[in-house]
Structure 1
Amino acid sequence: MRAPRGRIVPLSGVALAGALTATVLLAPGASAATTITVAADGSGNFTTVQAAINSVPANNTAAVTVNIKPGTYRGVVTVPANKPYVSLIGTGSAANQTVLVEGHAAGMTNPSGGTYGTSGSASVFIQANDTTVRNLTMSNDFNEAAVELSGEQAVAVNTSGDRVEFDNVRILGNQDTLLVNAPSASAVRRLYVRNSYVEGDVDFIFGRGTMVFQNGTVHSLTRGSSSNNGYLTAAATDINNKFGYLFWGTTLTSNAPAKTVYLGRPWHPSGDVNARGQVLYRGVTMGAHIRDDPWTDMSGFSWKDARFTEYSSTGAGAAVNANRPQMTAATAAQYVPTAYLAGTDGWNPIR
């Protein structure tokens, strides 16, 4: 999100730490827009990303750009629901130079009480609408091989805001890496992921939100199995929501053996019978790791009751058979990125 151009005046009402002073850029007739710099070495306004977000006034109505200098920033980052219009931008020359990371897992003890649980294990929470994340890495580095827990789900990103954009980001984890969330079954929350990379093994893109993953790479990590190395998706799209996940022009890669990874399985949170996952792989290049029977059941629910389809897949892992429903050309005309993201307000971030 670009701040309006105009005259520069000092930022008021926000206490800033560090050597630099944030500024407000004003355009005639426009609301104030703020730019804040985060640098671990103290050369910015703040040394942590969360401190920068905390400085944003609640219910702000103007663009806030948080420029994050290269470095590794450990600690949970939350963009709360009452702070929309925030952009988190890595300022390095590549996304891997700026890393937001934490290592919580579902079964770990939460200092606030109980355990984190799956959704609470995230390293980054995007709860606000109109949030943009660009040119950085979001990671959960919990090591499931080194620590045994009853719950090893370890989310890197939990996004429940609407009109959220990820551009040139890396999202790293193992089980349950990216939670495409929504606050309720009836709520539609949209995420647009462009030119990005996500990796994991089990159900590593999951939830009941709506997502377009355009271009970029989805990488399946091997679990050392000769037959089952996990599932890319576990969609829980409500039956009343036409659109779940669209993978468009994306490449599927893996270090797992051939024909050992599933495209997905249907997640029914708390046994919700109205969760009928919708997933379409369209114009996707599939590596040899994808199984010939790429959809499977989950927790007693049949994948055949979900809305799982492909259209124009290519690559060594692509095939057409009775276990791989194909969308017709006539239906595919309705399932394009703009349709997934339009909602009722006509949102169109595609460029």
Structure 2
Amino acid sequence: MSVDRRSVCSGLAALAALGPSRLEAAGGFDAMVRHRGGTHDSLAAALAAAPPGDRPWRILLGRGKWEEKLAVRRPNLVLVGEDRRTSVLSASAAAGQAKPGGGSWGTYGSATLTVEAPGFVARNLTIENGFDYVANLRDRRVEGAQAVALALGDAADRSVIESVDLLGHQDTFYLRAGRAAVRDCLIAGSIDFIFGGAAALFERCEIRSRLRPGETLQGYVAAPSTPRAQPIGFVFDHCRLTREPGLPDGSVWLGRPWRAGGNPALLGAAAWLDCWMDAHVAPEGWTWMGYKGPGGYPMRLEPGDARFFEYRSRGPGGGRHAARRQLGDAQAARFRRVLGDWRP
């Protein structure tokens, strides 16, 4: 079944602008999750009610904090918040913590919301991982402390994330595979908080680095693990790189190349196009990342060996440091076509 995604998204934008009472009258949703007066009292129940098939299933998430840890496995699932700031989907799981039924969470398994189907749309809400990362810096009870808010899995493709706040610390947004259009979002974190192998276009997003109290190194924004055969990975277009109060100048790297599992078929790719950067961005921009090579020997992938680029960066953290490779006009235009023939 063919789905016109542009008409779906524009229609949802018009519906969300109506306000809660008129939304119901408009009849634009298949399910409404509310503490009172909805069709369901949990998002899990609304997801379970979706019938098989490919037609879009539209869910309105009402105001409130919905403490649920969920996976989307149905194609063309559309999730719209009643209010961006107060419609909050939240869980608190981190890699290394015990999970129900035995064992412990891994990075991917820690996600508050995991998408394992194509055609997913999220709009006008907040998704957070509430794991207390700052407290863990003090007591180190959890090793690693990867805690994902949103994960787009291997079966995800043509995902649209629009006007969403994604909040976490380490590994906030895991774009594992597929294509994603991310627009007008706030993405907040500290360590590798936008990472994975997807082809993704981030447009007009605020990328906010969070304070790690007492730490000299404050973090890394992106950690792409792009397949070597994939020409373009993450593209940040007209985004703003901001910081929490107290975060020092020059203490955050634009990113580092993640070679997941030491796989030589992965070679990180990312580009920052027409972005404004505050002074917390390190002058050199990019840095290396370690991995285990054949036989388990420690190795490192240098940023110069990966595919990292910039184009017309502005602000106190922008500029033309020798280590930050620049694109020309034609090259930047090609990077903006990262999504190929998909026009969300």
TM (norm. structure 1) is 0.84
CA distance in structure 2 between the partners assigned to 1:297 and 1:275 by the alignment: 14
Match of 2:267 in 1: 276
User: What is the Cα deviation at residue 164 of structure 1?
Assistant: 0.4
User: What is the Cα deviation at residue 347 of structure 1?
Assistant: 1.3
Cα deviation per residue 1:7-53 (whole Å; 9 max; x = unaligned)? xxxxxxxxxxxxxxx99x8xxxxxxx9611110x2311111111101
Which of residues 249, 257, 260 is equivalent to 1:266? 257
Match of 1:175 in 2: 170
CA distance in structure 1 between the partners assigned to 2:338 and 2:322 by the alignment: 27
User: What is the Cα deviation at residue 261 of structure 1?
Assistant: 0.6
User: What is the Cα deviation at residue 137 of structure 1?
Assistant: 0.2
User: What is the Cα deviation at residue 109 of structure 1?
Assistant: 0.7
Match of 2:95 in 1: 106
CA distance in structure 2 between the partners assigned to 1:258 and 1:86 by the alignment: 41
CA distance in structure 1 between the partners assigned to 2:130 and 2:61 by the alignment: 20
Contact 2:75–2:117 (Cα < 8 Å) also in 1: yes
Cα deviation per residue 1:138-197 (whole Å; 9 max; x = unaligned)? 000000233421231000010121000011000000000000012xxxxxx011111110
CA distance in structure 1 between the partners assigned to 2:108 and 2:306 by the alignment: 23
CA distance in structure 1 between the partners assigned to 2:241 and 2:321 by the alignment: 19
In the TM superposition, 1:274-313 aligns within 5 A as 274-299=265-290, 300-313=300-313
Match of 1:252 in 2: 241
Match of 2:135 in 1: 146
Match of 1:90 in 2: 81
Greater CA drift, 172-181 or 298-307: 298-307
TM (norm. structure 2) is 0.86
Contact 2:134–2:212 (Cα < 8 Å) also in 1: no
AA paired with 2:261? S
AA paired with 1:328? G
Match of 1:47 in 2: 41
Contact 1:226–1:260 (Cα < 8 Å) also in 2: no
CA distance in structure 1 between the partners assigned to 2:134 and 2:330 by the alignment: 46
Confirm whether residue 120 of structure 1 aligns to residue 118 of structure 2: no
C-alpha change, 1:226 and 1:139, in structure 2 (3 Å) is: closer
CA distance in structure 1 between the partners assigned to 2:323 and 2:127 by the alignment: 34
Contact 2:29–2:60 (Cα < 8 Å) also in 1: no
C-alpha change, 1:322 and 1:100, in structure 2 (3 Å) is: same
User: What is the Cα deviation at residue 210 of structure 1?
Assistant: 1.3
RMSD: 2.0
In the TM superposition, 1:332-351 aligns within 5 A as 332-336=332-336, 339-342=337-340, 346-349=341-344
Match of 1:18 in 2: none
Contact 2:190–2:219 (Cα < 8 Å) also in 1: yes
C-alpha change, 1:227 and 1:149, in structure 2 (3 Å) is: closer
In the TM superposition, 1:111-260 aligns within 5 A as 111-147=100-136, 148-160=141-153, 161-182=156-177, 189-224=178-213, 227-255=216-244, 256-260=247-251
- Alignment gaps of 5+ in structure 2: 10-23, 291-299
CA distance in structure 1 between the partners assigned to 2:274 and 2:213 by the alignment: 29
More helix as a share of residues: 2
Match of 1:66 in 2: 59
CA distance in structure 1 between the partners assigned to 2:33 and 2:71 by the alignment: 15
Match of 2:15 in 1: none
AA paired with 2:281? I
CA distance in structure 1 between the partners assigned to 2:8 and 2:243 by the alignment: 39
- Alignment gaps of 5+ in structure 1: 5-21, 26-32, 183-188
Identity of aligned residues (%): 32
User: What is the Cα deviation at residue 104 of structure 1?
Assistant: 0.2
Contact 2:134–2:213 (Cα < 8 Å) also in 1: no
